[in-house]
């Protein structure tokens, strides 16, 4: 699971209540403290949070504070802590949807429980929400995940160009989502009732390319025994997606330029031209500027398609998006395979973040899908990831990879420590797993699973 993100609002600051202990006692989480309502509202509008903890000091009463925050983020579960508790305030907070309402005197004893309960609920909600969106809107932003600044920039450009009819160039490494962008532009444009026609310029043999794209008349060349419409005409009224446009041979680049300028095509062997109404979205994973310098790509065509350019960032630079995408792909894969949604262990997220992802989102998707397929546990672990991902994470060096190096050893240390702890625990209880579980305050099933993971069984501790 991703680390939960908790937003705390308390005018007395981070240390007024034992907030810091929560992370140590419960599970690692990202905590942010805001000391005023204004700042909290700004933070809520900027990014998304799993849980809010609001302490109503002097100033507005708890219910007023609560409803202001609720308005800013209607989905956010919140715990309200009230130094001036009252039955009416409590009722109005809870009726308005607060997850919990605590008298400040009960914080020591009750806050942890409240958080655990709400976090569990909010996780499920988040997973469901993502799946629901994916099912309802297959071709819009449904599967477009990512909140990193670079991706937000991408969405806003998509929104702006979708409304117009301009041609667009999408650049980015393989697997960064270029085709997804092209489909998103199409889906949000007025052309969305027309066809979306993808053409992979790298996959069609040069000899066939011209007639594939522009069509031909009967008898235009040997084997042309019927007239045929090309893909450009086929996209009439819709969007033509020219993938890997850098692979287009130079003579066809000239012909494409003419289509873009005149919006007319001439089939191979034809005398007259036909008008076409298409928007072209071209994509490339190559450096077109450089190809132009080398004379491999026509400068005039480059200028023509480079008017609006959307550059997709490599996944390795997208920070938290990696976790977001991984969680989504894990849930989706589990659902498709009809398995309970158990997700990925925290360790997995750390490894995923330190790998360099040359195949970007596509590679991540495959890695996660594979992990969910391979795992025998409810939650997929590091062992279920492809070797190259784990190896690279362990080997990685440099500032960015520091966490991975540490992580590789940390797992080992934690595991050794855990085994020792379990061994001592079981020895103390002479192999009585129920008694051991009670002492460790673990459900018995969980203890069994941990024991199994370390090859321990109760019988060997009986006298
Ligand atoms: N931001 C994203 N959110 C969700 N899925 C994505 C995202 N970007 C890419 N993908 C998925 O990754 C895969 C590769 O995307 P694609 O558009 O084919 O990449 P490209 O054309 O750049 O090689 C596809 O399955 C796509 O759905
Ligand atoms: Mg592609």
Which residue from 131, 143, 178, 180 has its CB within 8 A of the most atoms of ligand 1, so it is best to mutate? 180
Residue 181 CA, closest ligand 1 atom number: 17
**Residue 180 structure tokens:** 């997804």
Task: Say how far residue 80 (Cα) sits from the centre of its chain.
Answer: 30
DSSP alpha helix (H) spans, 11-148: 19-25, 37-46, 62-72, 87-95, 107-136
CA 198 to centroid of ligand 2, rounded, Å:
10
Domains 149-311 and 321-461 share a fold: no
| pLDDT score at 125 | 59
Block residue for tokens 């045929």: 228
368 lines ligand 1 (CB under 6 A): no
| pLDDT score at 6 | 87
Buried b (16+ CB within 10 A) or exposed e, 245-271: bbbbeeebbebbbebeeeeebbbbeee
Interatomic CA distance for residues 151 and 199, integer angstroms: 25
DSSP string, 374-399: H-SSSSB-GGGS-HHHHHHHHH--SG
172 lines ligand 1 (CB under 6 A): yes
What does the pLDDT look like over 321-368, one tens digit per residue?
899 899 989 988 888 888 777 789 888 998 999 899 999 999 999 999
Q: Which ligand is nearest to the CA of 176?
A: 1
| pLDDT score at 399 | 42
| pLDDT score at 244 | 95
Interatomic CA distance for residues 431 and 87, integer angstroms: 50
144 lines ligand 1 (CB under 6 A): yes
Ranges under pLDDT 70 in the chain: 1-3, 20, 22-28, 120-143, 394-413, 463
Interatomic CA distance for residues 301 and 56, integer angstroms: 62
Interatomic CA distance for residues 377 and 25, integer angstroms: 25
143 lines ligand 1 (CB under 6 A): yes
Interatomic CA distance for residues 160 and 142, integer angstroms: 18
CATH of 149-311, one of 3.40.1740.10, 3.40.640.10, 3.40.50.300, 3.40.50.150: 3.40.50.300
For residue 458, give every residue at least 6 positions away whose Cβ sits within 8 Å of its Cβ, in sequence order, or none: 426, 431, 432, 433, 451
429 lines ligand 1 (CB under 6 A): no
CA 276 to centroid of ligand 2, rounded, Å:
25
Q: How many CB atoms lie within 10 A of CB 315?
A: 28
DSSP string, 152-209: HHHHHHHHHHHHS---EEEE-STTSSHHHHHHHHHHTSGGGGS-EEEEETTTS-HHHH
147 lines ligand 1 (CB under 6 A): no
Residue 94, SS3 per DSSP: helix
| pLDDT score at 140 | 40
Nearest CA to ligand 1 atom 13: 362
Q: At 352, give phi and psi (nearest 5°).
A: -60, -40
Q: Residue 363 is inside which H or E element, if any? A: helix 360-374
Residue 364 CA, closest ligand 1 atom number: 12
Task: Write the CA distances from 122 to 75, 262, 355, integer angstroms.
Answer: 9, 54, 28
Interatomic CA distance for residues 50 and 10, integer angstroms: 17
Q: At 104, give phi and psi (nearest 5°).
A: -60, -25
What are the boundaries of each domain within the chain? 5-135, 149-311, 321-461
Domain 5-135 in CATH 3.40.50.1820? The answer is no
Nearest CA to ligand 1 atom 8: 177
Q: Which ligand is nearest to the CA of 172?
A: 1
Nearest residue to 379 via CA among 331, 419, 323: 331
Which residue from 130, 139, 173, 175 has its CB within 8 A of the most atoms of ligand 1, so it is best to mutate? 175
For residue 151, give every residue at least 6 positions away whose Cβ sits within 8 Å of its Cβ, in sequence order, or none: 313, 318, 321
Nearest residue to 393 via CA among 348, 345, 342: 348
**Residue 203 structure tokens:** 């996959």
Label each residue of 408-431 as H, E or C.
HHHHHHHHHHHHHHHHHHHHHCCC
246 lines ligand 1 (CB under 6 A): no
HSE-up of residue 132 (Cα within 13 Å, Cβ side): 6
Is the Cβ–Cβ distance between 218 and 199 less than 8 Å?
no
DSSP alpha helix (H) spans, 216-345: 231-234, 250-262, 288-293, 299-305, 321-336
Interatomic CA distance for residues 396 and 398, integer angstroms: 7
Nearest residue to 318 via CA among 181, 176, 184: 176
CA 177 to centroid of ligand 2, rounded, Å:
7
Q: How many CB atoms lie within 10 A of CB 227?
A: 15
Q: Which CATH architecture has domain 321-461?
A: Orthogonal Bundle (1.10)
What does the pLDDT look like over 111-138, one tens digit per residue?
877 787 777 666 555 555 544 444 443 3
């Amino acid at each position: 699971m991703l680390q939960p993100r908790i937003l705390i609002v308390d005018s007395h600051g981070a240390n007024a209540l034992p907030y810091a202990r929560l992370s140590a006692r419960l599970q690692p989480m990202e905590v942010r403290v805001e000391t005023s309502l204004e700042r909290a509202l700004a933070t809520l509008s900027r990014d998304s949070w799993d849980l809010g903890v609001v302490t109503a000091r002097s100033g507005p009463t708890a219910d007023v504070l609560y409803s202001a925050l609720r308005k800013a983020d209607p989905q956010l579960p919140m715990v309200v802590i009230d130094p001036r508790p009252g039955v009416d305030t409590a009722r109005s907070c809870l009726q308005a949807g607060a997850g919990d309402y605590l008298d400040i005197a009960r914080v020591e004893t009750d806050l942890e429980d409240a958080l655990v309960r709400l976090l569990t609920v909010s996780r499920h909600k988040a997973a469901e929400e993502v799946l629901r969106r994916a099912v309802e809107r297959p071709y819009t932003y449904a599967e477009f995940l990512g909140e990193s600044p670079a991706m937000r920039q991408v969405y806003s450009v998509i929104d702006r160009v979708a409304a117009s009819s301009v041609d667009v160039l999408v650049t980015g490494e393989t697997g960064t989502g270029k085709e997804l962008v092209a489909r998103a532009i199409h889906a949000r444009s007025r052309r969305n009732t027309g066809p979306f026609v993808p053409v992979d310029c790298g996959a069609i043999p040069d000899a066939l390319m011209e007639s594939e794209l522009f069509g031909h008349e009967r008898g235009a060349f040997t084997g042309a025994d019927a007239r045929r419409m090309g893909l450009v005409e086929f996209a009439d009224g819709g969007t033509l997606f020219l993938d890997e446009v850098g692979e287009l041979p130079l003579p066809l680049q000239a012909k494409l330029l003419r289509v873009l300028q005149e919006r007319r095509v001439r089939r191979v062997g034809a005398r007259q031209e036909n008008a076409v109404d298409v928007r072209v979205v071209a994509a490339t994973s190559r450096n077109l500027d450089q190809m132009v310098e080398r004379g491999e790509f026509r400068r005039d065509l480059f200028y023509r398609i480079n008017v609006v350019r959307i550059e997709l960032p490599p996944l390795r630079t997208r920070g938290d998006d990696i976790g977001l995408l991984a969680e989504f792909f894990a849930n989706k894969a589990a659902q498709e395979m009809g398995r309970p949604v158990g997700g990925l262990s925290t360790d997995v997220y750390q490894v995923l973040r330190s790998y360099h992802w040359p195949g970007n989102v596509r590679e991540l998707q495959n890695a996660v899908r594979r992990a969910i397929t391979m795992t025998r546990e409810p939650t997929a672990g590091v062992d279920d990831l492809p070797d190259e991902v784990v190896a690279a994470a362990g080997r990685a060096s440099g500032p960015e990879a520091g966490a991975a190096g540490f992580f590789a050893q940390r797992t080992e240390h934690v595991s050794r420590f855990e085994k020792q702890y379990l061994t001592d625990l079981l020895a103390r209880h002479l192999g009585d797993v129920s008694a051991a579980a009670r002492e460790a305050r673990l459900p018995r099933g969980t203890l069994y699973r941990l024991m199994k993971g370390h090859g321990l069984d109760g019988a060997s501790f009986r006298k």
